[in-house]
Structure 1
Amino acid sequence: MVRIDAPAVSAPLFRAVVLLILLVTGSPGFAGEVRIAVAANFTDTTHALITAFETRTGHRASASFGSTGKLYAQIRNGAPFDVFLAADARRPRLLEKEGRAVAGTRFTYAIGKLALWTPEPHAFEKPEAFLSSTALARVAIANPKTAPYGLAARQALKSMNLWDSLQHRIVRGDSIAQAFQFIASGNAGAGFVALSQIKSWDGQAGTQWLVPQSYYAPLEQQAVLLDRGKTNPAAQAWLDFLKSPEATGIIQGYGYEGLK
């Protein structure tokens, strides 16, 4: 066998060649990218999770936020997402049944909490009396048809026997994020939002009431691997990361609990 030795190169030149190869072929630390459709209530939590995920795995992650119902419709119409983080269990289950999600990958990543909130400090002690007061001109909720937190708000108001009497004062946001903005901007005096949104807000604390769980169906938020992402290692890595103790700590820190 004839061996042909490569010409000797200096150490600095060798390092430069290696660096060039990494730049051309891609660093092994950034092996892939996952595109995630995320329910609007989980926006700030997702940003924190992405930072930790990219640091731990080297993969990149990008997220698009919206109401669960609208994201579900986009996925059905071919939107290029690899993973769906919904604010309910129903839409991920439907996608699984429709063959648009990978069977066996669906799991609960968070259980949300609904809160009545106003930016005004010491605004109320008795939430039902506050909601019934004519001084409260507008009450914001997310659209119950597309947003699970909006559905929970409607259930809570019905539990308090206030749904019918407040109809003329309720303003609906396309998502829980828009409902929160209505309140934060003063376009609504108060409203029902995700507890996690209050924790993430930079303004004054205001007044909040954590709605009893008995007033609405549990906000069991589920994730699922979409058909488009089944061959994407970064997508599977994201789902694995969501189940890790590190991710659980971040999620609970933003006001969620009961991870399964």
Structure 2
Amino acid sequence: MDLESLAASQNEQRRAVDDEIAAAVAALRSAVSRDAIADALRLGEELRLFNPHMFRLRTSGNEASPDLYAFLMEYGQVSELWLNFGPVLFGSLDPTQWDPRYGPDEENPVGTIWRPEESAAEIVRVLERQLLANDVVGRDLFDFARAVDMLALSLQVAFAARSGNGGPVKLSAPLICLVNAQWALTDEGLESLLADCRHPISDELPAGVPCPPQHSADLWADAIGYFGARQRDIATMFEGMAAYELANS
């Protein structure tokens, strides 16, 4: 195959992926449904845009709101859509009562499996009851519709940033969470969507780092606040796991 034919083939493949992304986003925005969410997650994972184990959605613009982890478990022809709350909720549970093994079902206080026969309204009620029962800080900020919108944006932003379609800036790793319009959390850390600027994930928070040029000070403050809150949540989760293991050893 000559270079011209190769370029034409690559462009055709690119257009096909563009069409898939557009269709998935349109489905998410036309109606909140299990299938639309599952299809978007599957596409994000297949294209390696999302971290399949850590991908999460902000449910409000407030750092205190609980993140929603959305991921697929595939068993042959069966595909289960799991919705779990993140370390915020894990850390709030009594560690002596918490079983850290995954397997959300009707008895699990931190997540549920969205079954095909259930409506979006039913799932929202389940998730809201979990937040209320566990007295989670920020539960009043939980907005499922916002989370679905963030999924659509995550798909668009991650594809554009990693393919170069959105300009010269590229995310260096799969997306963990779209923080806001200018910042994303990836496997490599807190990354800018506007410039070649990133802060690696570490135990030390970049609280003293001034707002980078070209960026909104408000969105920078939001990104730093979110980054710090989630680092603390993860530390709390590991403390809870250690306490659980100690209580059951």
Same fold by TM-score greater than 0.5: no
Smaller-chain TM-score range? under 0.3
**Which has the bigger relative contact order, CA under 8 A and spacing at least 6?**
1
Task: Name the one with the larger strand percent.
Answer: 1
Report the TM-score when normalising by structure 2: 0.28
Higher gyration radius (CA)? 1
Report the TM-score when normalising by structure 1: 0.27
